[in-house]
């Protein structure tokens, strides 16, 4: 929890991100925090974008809460939570319109498995695009009536699917899927940021208590939430230390640059990974994937 004592609604479990790096990020003192790095329109400052999203989401959260109060106590509220709260929230954080996954996502069979396990992830954002994705971030959006750490009833007859707690399911998916490194699971009340932790023996995540943030109007906590969960933090990037573009070639050199000279963007070079490796201590147990 070191470095995060000033935040009431942000909780760090395990070593997924260093608390000191998150605290520095809240003050815009980490690499990759210019308006361009957050992919904001020219002329819009990062602080202005946060303030605009804050005002919009305060009203959206209030309306969503009103909707929930009109539902039966045992209603999982999946549609209401996604459409009235989570998707608008993600849009304000630069995620656009995430791809809705019908039927879940398969991963290659592991040791002793004869069929591809299927994971009922609800959404994802892919790069370079949905048509031929090479990397992606899974976004598992469940209803307000669904607990993140409790097994939920099956909603499919697919034999490859078993009842899993949402967080446990998404964590297992990240640990097994080479195309995904980071992921988000949320029921609207709480949002957790997960990473591949296949090398770790215990849980590791960052949790944002969204109800506390918006009900108690914790602007500082929302600021850190925006700066950490914004879509630009997850985008694959080339390795800055080896990046070579056409501009690096001598103007007198008429030979065209081979595509292989320009490193492909990688999830392991995203801004979150820069934050993950900032201290050089707490994050060492997390293996970096290409």
Per-residue pLDDT of the chain (290 residues; tens, 9 = 90+): 457 899 999 999 998 999 999 999 999 999 999 999 999 999 999 999 999 999 999 999 999 999 999 999 889 999 999 999 999 999 999 999 999 999 999 998 887 888 889 999 999 999 988 888 889 999 999 999 999 999 876 554 443 344 789 999 999 999 999 999 999 999 999 999 999 998 776 889 999 999 999 999 999 999 999 999 999 999 999 876 555 444 454 444 444 445 455 567 888 899 999 888 875 443 444 444 54
Q: Which residue has the tokens 């963007």?
A: 265
Angstrom distance (rounded) from CA 161 to CA 101: 15
Which are the contacts of 87, defined by CB distance < 8 A and separation ≥ 6? Answer: 97, 98, 141
Residues 6, 220: contact at Cβ < 8 Å?
yes
For residue 48 the two structure tokens come to 């202005």
Which are the contacts of 41, defined by CB distance < 8 A and separation ≥ 6? Answer: none
The structural domains of the chain, with segments of one domain joined by +, span 10-106+118-148+162-239+262-276
């Amino acid at each position: 929890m070191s470095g995060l004592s000033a935040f009431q609604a942000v909780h760090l479990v395990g070593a997924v991100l260093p608390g000191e790096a998150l605290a520095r990020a809240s003050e815009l003192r980490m690499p990759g925090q210019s308006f361009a790095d957050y992919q904001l329109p020219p002329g819009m400052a990062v602080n202005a974008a946060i303030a605009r999203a804050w005002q919009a989401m305060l009203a959206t959260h209030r309306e969503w809460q009103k909707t929930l109060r009109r539902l039966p106590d045992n209603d999982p509220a999946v549609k209401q939570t996604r459409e009235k709260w989570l998707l608008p929230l993600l849009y304000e954080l630069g995620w656009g319109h995430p791809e809705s996954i019908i039927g879940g996502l398969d991963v290659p069979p592991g040791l002793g498995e004869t069929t591809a396990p299927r994971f009922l992830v609800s959404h994802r954002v892919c790069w370079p695009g949905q048509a031929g994705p090479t990397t992606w971030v899974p976004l598992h959006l469940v209803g307000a009536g669904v607990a993140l750490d409790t097994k939920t009833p099956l909603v499919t007859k697919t034999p490859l699917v078993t009842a899993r707690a949402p967080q446990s399911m998404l964590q297992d998916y990240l640990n097994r899927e080479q195309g995904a490194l980071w992921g988000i699971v949320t029921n609207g009340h709480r949002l957790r940021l997960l990473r591949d932790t296949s090398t770790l023996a215990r849980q590791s995540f960052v949790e944002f208590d969204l109800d506390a943030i918006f009900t108690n109007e914790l602007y500082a906590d929302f600021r850190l939430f925006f700066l950490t969960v914004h879509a630009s933090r997850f985008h694959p990037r080339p390795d800055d230390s080896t990046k070579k573009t056409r501009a690096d070639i001598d103007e007198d050199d008429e030979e065209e640059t081979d595509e292989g000279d320009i490193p492909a963007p990688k999830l392991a070079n995203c801004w979150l990974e820069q934050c993950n490796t900032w201290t050089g201590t707490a994050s060492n147990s997390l293996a970096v994937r290409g």
